Structure 1
Amino acid sequence: MKEELVAKNPETLERVDRINNCYDYATGRNEALKSIARSELELFIDEAIKEIDLLEQVAEHDQGKFDLPREIAENIGTVWVFSGPGSYFEPKKEDRYKNYPWANWMDRKRLNHATRLIRKITERLSGQNFKAPLSEIISAKRKIKEAILNYGPRVIYNGTPIENETVAKVLSEEGVIIPTEKVDIIEQDIKNTLDQITTILPEKFEKEKEIALVSHAPHLMRILRIINKYQPFPKGTKIRLFPLSTPMEGREEYAKMEISGALYYTYITQNATKQPYPYEISCTPEKITDSIKN
């Protein structure tokens, strides 16, 4: 039977194997999930895998270059950066990711990704060209920083106390192009992604403006389901995702970890929903996302 399935559609078999692996991983970590019908969990897992795959491929296409049309740049009022493994100065910290080399520097990568996005938004809105030769890099950074102050979106970062302290230190360093006046570091008791979402204050968001979410692809899948549960911003707020791709050697492992977390939050603690909050993806042309989806 299995050989017949391979002959007919090897991609289907691969997807079935991935679903089974995720199911075994999630129920191995949380026995309570076994009380839910396997067919229901498998449907959830299948949709989550498709979503993550799409985000990974969009991230690979973008590569942090952001071919950002002006109309999208104008609509982004806030960039929300989710903290991750490691810090800006250290590749890892004492958390569940410390033994996974592929997770090294994820926090720094997210912050740098957000910085490139903010620079691109500012470039579009100010009409300025920020390219400069190395001999003029110092004056160019001052020019960019001033432009971001005048034209750039607000930035929200809310991590653990140590993560917040690190970001505050980075912002104070010479040559950093993000003005401290543009950044809201929310200093509350943050331990995990759920805390990050439920402690966000609605007044931090501009009404009628989009929120750009920055994190790695598998993490965004889980984030969207927690956001859909709590909706910690004005009703009707639009979300646009700017995902980072996961290193290839950790792609399946990270997806399993985040899907397991999403299942736990959805079915056990009820801190997430089965469906994600409605969203747009990056600035990738529709023809590319359509080809990925198909």
Structure 2
Amino acid sequence: MKEELVAKNPETLERVDRINNCYDYATGRNEALKSIARSELELFIDEAIKEIDLLEQVAERDQGKFDLPREIAENIGTVWVFSGPGSYFEPKKEDRYKNYPWANWMDRKRLNHATRLIRKITERLSGQNFKAPLSEIISAKRKIKEAILNYGPRVIYNGTPIENETVAKVLSEEGVIIPTEKVDIIEQDIKNTLDQITTILPEKFEKEKEIALVSHAPHLMRILRIINKYQPFPKGTKIRLFPLSTPMEGREEYAKMEISGALYYTYITQNATKQPYPYEISCTPEKITDSIKN
């Protein structure tokens, strides 16, 4: 490893260990990566780890008080939800995550996080207060649904056929606050994240508006590099990330998996770029961003 990464304190030691662990994991899964200079891959891994750490920190903050200023809310035209392990009704499905308990219910969590975001955007733009006592919850949900129809952003979800069918079923259930008229479920042959990004149609996005991306923190790191390669929307479209935090017991494992995937797409298949597509994160104060980047 380069001299500038030589450990001088415990934090640096931990950082070097994380980089080495990611390198070993990625090259163990894809031998072809060993043909790339180790120093280059380590620099990529280091940047990816810093991005994921920032996204995890913001996600943890947003799990508590989720404040969305009006100026941000009014700029979001589309919420793009990436499908994940499990489904809305099942904790897991037959995929590579089925043996990782920390990945259970990820798809449902992403959909719920997107719903929370959409509700907050609608609350800001409509000027309405959606809080209601339990005794009025049914009428309150009807009120929220109507407000989202009139003021809320569009929603895009594009998963596998089974994932899409599940979301369509959820939307049809009584008490769901997201109107079906607001949701575009892309019915294409989707097998992975690359398929999700390359099948998005530009006309689904509102010009001059931001796209809010919803997924778990490590996944967003990889998504941004695939998006930067294909840019499947109008030139100059702005992206704002609304990450979910990874359960602590799976945080390092999931980061390694996504960094390995990003390395493979970038250096082997050329389906991603070294740098991410430009982005903003939630409503992150500059001091949080700077504390991670430094």
TM-score, normalising length: structure 1: 0.97
Structure 1 residue 154 displacement after superposition: 0.1
Task: In structure 2, list runs of 5 or more residues that go unmatched.
Answer: none
Name the CA shift for 1:28/1:142 in 2 (closer, same or farther; >3 Å): same
Aligned Cα root-mean-square deviation (Å):
2.0
The whole-number CA distance in structure 2 between the counterparts of 1:5 and 1:77 is 42
Aligned 8 A contact 1:212 1:240 in 2: yes
Q: Over residues 90-124 of structure 1, what are the superposed CA-to-partner deviations in whole Å (9 max), with x where a residue is unaligned? A: 00000000000000000000000000000000000
The whole-number CA distance in structure 2 between the counterparts of 1:4 and 1:240 is 32
Describe the SS at the equivalent of 2:6: helix
Structure 1 residue 286 displacement after superposition: 1.9
Task: In structure 1, list runs of 5 or more residues that go unmatched.
Answer: none
The whole-number CA distance in structure 2 between the counterparts of 1:290 and 1:229 is 26
Name the CA shift for 1:2/1:180 in 2 (closer, same or farther; >3 Å): closer
Name the CA shift for 1:64/1:229 in 2 (closer, same or farther; >3 Å): farther
Structure 1 residue aligned with 2:47: 47
Structure 1 residue 7 displacement after superposition: 8.5
Describe the SS at the equivalent of 1:234: coil
Structure 1 residue 175 displacement after superposition: 0.1
The whole-number CA distance in structure 1 between the counterparts of 2:288 and 2:212 is 20
Aligned 8 A contact 1:57 1:292 in 2: no
The whole-number CA distance in structure 1 between the counterparts of 2:24 and 2:121 is 42
Name the CA shift for 1:10/1:4 in 2 (closer, same or farther; >3 Å): farther
Aligned 8 A contact 1:64 1:117 in 2: no
Structure 1 residue 153 displacement after superposition: 0.1
Structure 1 residue 288 displacement after superposition: 2.5
Aligned 8 A contact 1:72 1:283 in 2: yes
Aligned 8 A contact 1:239 1:280 in 2: yes
The whole-number CA distance in structure 1 between the counterparts of 2:290 and 2:36 is 33
Q: Over residues 206-244 of structure 1, what are the superposed CA-to-partner deviations in whole Å (9 max), with x where a residue is unaligned? A: 000000000000000000000000000000000000000
Aligned 8 A contact 2:5 2:16 in 1: no
Mean Cα deviation higher: 7-16 or 51-60: 7-16
Structure 2 residue aligned with 1:148: 148
Structure 1 residue 65 displacement after superposition: 4.1
Aligned 8 A contact 2:2 2:39 in 1: no
The whole-number CA distance in structure 1 between the counterparts of 2:3 and 2:240 is 42
Structure 1 residue 285 displacement after superposition: 2.0
Structure 2 residue aligned with 1:248: 248
Describe the SS at the equivalent of 2:243: strand
Aligned 8 A contact 2:7 2:13 in 1: no
Q: Over residues 181-230 of structure 1, what are the superposed CA-to-partner deviations in whole Å (9 max), with x where a residue is unaligned? A: 00000000000000000000000000000000000000000000000000
The whole-number CA distance in structure 2 between the counterparts of 1:9 and 1:90 is 44
Name the CA shift for 1:216/1:205 in 2 (closer, same or farther; >3 Å): same
Structure 2 residue aligned with 1:28: 28
Aligned 8 A contact 2:214 2:243 in 1: yes
Name the CA shift for 1:2/1:127 in 2 (closer, same or farther; >3 Å): closer
The whole-number CA distance in structure 1 between the counterparts of 2:125 and 2:186 is 27
Aligned 8 A contact 1:58 1:289 in 2: no
Name the CA shift for 1:3/1:42 in 2 (closer, same or farther; >3 Å): closer
Q: 5 Å matches for 1:94-243?
A: 94-243=94-243
Structure 1 residue 169 displacement after superposition: 0.1
Structure 1 residue 4 displacement after superposition: 14
Structure 1 residue 291 displacement after superposition: 2.8
The whole-number CA distance in structure 2 between the counterparts of 1:292 and 1:14 is 15
The whole-number CA distance in structure 2 between the counterparts of 1:5 and 1:205 is 42
Aligned 8 A contact 2:7 2:16 in 1: no
Structure 1 residue 289 displacement after superposition: 2.4
Aligned 8 A contact 2:141 2:176 in 1: yes
Name the CA shift for 1:11/1:38 in 2 (closer, same or farther; >3 Å): same
Name the CA shift for 1:64/1:265 in 2 (closer, same or farther; >3 Å): farther
Mean Cα deviation higher: 143-152 or 58-67: 58-67
The whole-number CA distance in structure 2 between the counterparts of 1:141 and 1:268 is 48
Name the CA shift for 1:27/1:143 in 2 (closer, same or farther; >3 Å): same
Name the CA shift for 1:286/1:94 in 2 (closer, same or farther; >3 Å): same
Name the CA shift for 1:168/1:7 in 2 (closer, same or farther; >3 Å): closer
Describe the SS at the equivalent of 1:8: coil
